Structure 1
Amino acid sequence: MSDSTSRSTPLEAVHEAAGASFTDFGGWRMPVRYGSDLAEHEAVRTAAGLFDLSHMAEFRVTGPQAAAFLDAALAGTASAIANGRAKYSLLLAPDGGILDDLVVYRLADDEYWVVANAGNHDVVAGELTARSAGFDVTIGDETLTCGLVAVQGPDAQRIVASLGLPTDVRYYGIARTEYCGRPILVARTGYTGEDGFELYLDTPGAEGLWNELVSAGALPCGLAARDTLRLEAGMPLYGHELSRDVKPADAGLGRVADLGTPGGRVLVGLAAEGRRAGREGYAILRDGEPVGVITSGALSPTLGHPIALGYVDADVSALGTELALDVRGTAIPATVVPLPFYARKKA
């Protein structure tokens, strides 16, 4: 889909005024960067960055059988989520392939907030509708009426609190409150490896919220910084590490959906030498022979060396295994390392 046919978020005019460059992502016209990718990345690691995530797909599931329905429709046990808490989950095909990864928040005994990837909106909407047959539930698609912004970084709590919003929410928790007379959900979740908050409110209120957060000290950040941040944090991205052809155990997500042991190649983290990074689709080698493929790779801004996620044959997946990345015909030494590549220091 080209930019000319992409959906626009409610913050597009704000991004344009700030000089953002754009790309299509999941069918939406999204800001890639406002200036320097590295400066935006560093802001999140050292201060606070601000992201427009209004492209994400949101569904409100309500009704007396909401918990039972989500137990049946998704991996894991949604009925075990306490009110005001959240859980990472998966939408699986009948054969165990991953249709999407999502976060499920429980707002009340009979009300859940399900957040899915933008590019999988139609798949998730269709599957939830189909799987709701026989359950007393209502599924409301709020994707186009909901704005979502994320504040991430060491200063995120101070900045969010300065707007009068609650910040005593636990990690993977959510609270309902109001902002400028509008209902807002304050979730302590994110996709950067840093502490932070994701704020959901109706689209007319998104611009005012964004501008207040910028005034409070959050730096606008685009998709480029978001990708290097999530890669350093070892977080999978649908369409790269996760897909319809990948089973949870292969991706290291057996804790989310226990469907047995890996059946083929498995996902590993790789740290390489020098400054040349492996990219998606590049081969992973052992003694000059292909044993896997990179799904995401970059020169880590925080660590200063190349890192990558990729699928390799199970017999070369052990920590410490010496491999190589085929970077345009040059074998770059790399080692299988623990994930995440980067973890923030706990206060």
Structure 2
Amino acid sequence: MVRQTPLYEAHGRYGGKFVEFGGWLLPVQYAGILEEHRAVRQKAGLFDVSHMGEVRLTGPAALALVQRLVTNDASRLQAGQVQYSPMCYPEGGVVDDVLIYKQADEDYLLVVNAANTGKDWDWIRENAAGLEVTLQDLSAETAQLALQGPAAPTILSGLTTAPLGELPYYHFISRTEVAGKNVLLSRTGYTGEDGFEIYCATQDAVFLWDSLMSAGEVYGLQPAGLGCRDTLRFEACMPLYGHELSAGISPIEAGLGRYVKTDKGNFHGRKILADQKQNGTRRTLVGFEMLGRGIARAEYPILYGEKRIGTVTTGSYAPSLDKNLGLGLVDSEFAPLGQHFDISIRGKSVPAQVIPKPFYKRKGN
């Protein structure tokens, strides 16, 4: 059964065109992917990300459970900080990549990917067995709006008294108000731009969406769909589960070794990931630019001569750079910058070259 977010009817009012994603019916675009992409880069865009899952862990063993589950070191978090981390299987593949919100010493919120919510919940429950910890799946009662772009602070400041100027990147305020509604307000983002996430009760989502759109109209705010969310995160080389990360791709292979703290104590996958960090991996995620005509799409073969050396994980036209770019897992010997290889596009070999990641980085970041 395909699910709808609390904002489904609002998206229709704003001209949203729907697709199924992760079991949810979500807007892929409104005015158009390119227009929405440029709005986020230059002004601001508003996303409905209410399909994401939220799991709360409380109790004396909450931190111990988080540490067992994730590869990053959550013991470094202060209350009000957010941390990104892969969550791995014992074999080193990725269950999901999550955001960890530390609300208090015995109170953590994990934000998980929509398509993985059920699987993640089962995995967390399995690992919580025997620990003094209480688990709550808050996904059904929580909506999330993401306001992204350089104008985001200005737009939001007109609707809240929260000290936005004092809220650093990857921090949050657990209880504040936006447009008179109680919310959790964070500053992370999945676009490569500055921006905020507003977690609210599902019944408040439409009011907050309309309030933000009204406040942002003079600043060029546009509703933004999944299409530009993907092109934006792709330009910033942020991984997408099922593409750059999966049960068959480790965080080390995906270039996320900085989020794997093998010295923090035991966690799932630690032995294998420590070996990969020390000795390298057979495959490596690279960024590449198409040198010939064509767009690389996910699952396209990467070739060196007639030998298959890898697979495209994501490929797209990059609007901010006016280039056709891609991400792909290749045999590590073909990963150095400047390396040439071919992308097989419908049976035709099109040349490409390895380039640095991320492709896009906002000014001042």
Task: Tell me the TM-score normalized by structure 1.
Answer: 0.95
Choose from 235, 238, 245 the match for 2:241.
238
- Letter of the 1:100 counterpart: D
RMSD: 1.4
SS in 2 for 1:164: coil
Give SS of 2:258's match.
Answer: coil
Cross-structure match for 2:325: 307
1:211-247 C-alpha deviation (Å, 9 max, x unpaired):
1111122210000000000100001100111111111
* Cα offset, 1:165, TM superposition: 4.7
Show the counterpart of 1:227: 230
1:255 aligns with 2:253: no
CA distance in 2, matches of 1:44, 1:187: 18
Question: Superposition pairs for residues 200-211 of structure 1, below 5 Å?
Answer: 200-211=199-210
Work out which of the residue numbers 110, 118, 125 in structure 2 matches 1:114: 110
1:80 maps to which of 76, 80, 88: 76
Alignment of 1:183-194 (within 5 A): 183-194=182-193
Q: Please, which moves more after superposition, 321-330 or 188-197? A: 321-330
Q: Which residue of 1 aligns with 2:215?
A: 216
Displacement of 1:256 after TM fit?
A: 1.6
What is the aligned counterpart of 2:290 among 272, 286, 305? 272
Residue equivalent to 2:167: 169
Match of 1:38 in 2: 34
Equivalent residue number for residue 364 of structure 2: 346
Deviation at 1:318, TM superposition (A): 0.7
In 2 relative to 1, CA 274–50 (structure 1 residues): closer, same or farther, beyond 3 Å?
farther
**How many percent of aligned residue pairs carry the same amino acid?**
43
SS at match of 1:60: strand
> How do 1:328-339 residues align onto structure 2 when only pairs under 5 Å count?
328-339=346-357
Aligned to 1:8: 4
CA pair 298-156 structure 1, distance change in 2 beyond 3 A: same
Give yes or no for contact 1:273–1:305 (8 Å, CA) kept in 2: no
Matches within 5 A, 1:106-145: 106-145=102-141
CA distance in 1, matches of 2:35, 2:181: 33
Q: SS at 1:121's partner residue?
A: helix
- Distance of 2:10 and 2:331 partners within structure 1: 46
Distance 2:105 2:80 in 1: 10
What are the Cα deviations for residues 122-146 of structure 1, in whole angstroms up to 9, with x where unaligned? 1110111111122211111010100
State the distance in 1 between where 2:65 and 2:205 align.
31
* Structure 1 residues not aligned, in runs of 5+: none
Q: Is the 8 A contact 1:20 1:31 kept in 2?
A: yes
Asked whether the 8 Å contact 2:179–2:211 carries over to 1, the reply is no
Output the amino acid matched with 1:309: L
SS of structure 2 residue aligned to 1:38: helix
Q: Which moved more, 1:147-156 or 1:173-182?
A: 173-182
1:198 and 2:197 equivalent? Answer: yes
Name which of structure 1's ranges 164-173 and 29-38 shifts more when overlaid on structure 2: 164-173
Q: CA deviation at 1:335?
A: 1.1
- 1:256-305 Cα shifts (integer Å, max 9, x gaps): 22413243221111111355211011111223432111010001111111
How far residue 60 of structure 1 moved from its aligned partner, in angstroms, is: 1.2
- 1:53 pairs, out of 49, 58, 77, with 49
Tell whether the 8 Å contact from 1:274 to 1:306 is kept in structure 2 after alignment.
no
TM-score computed with the length of structure 2 as normaliser: 0.91
CA contact (8 A) 1:14 1:207 kept: yes
Q: 1:275·1:299 contact (CA, 8 Å) conserved in 2?
A: no
Given that residues 187 and 197 in structure 1 are in contact (C-alpha distance below 8 angstroms), is that contact kept between their aligned partners in structure 2? yes
Contact 2:44 2:151 in 1 (8 A): yes
Does the aligned pair in 2 maintain the 1:156–1:195 contact within 8 Å? Answer: yes
Residue 79 of structure 1 deviates from its aligned partner by: 2.1
Query: How far apart, CA to CA, are the structure 1 residues paired with 2:78 and 2:113?
Result: 23
SS of 2:259's equivalent?
Answer: coil
Structure 1 letter corresponding to 2:121: A
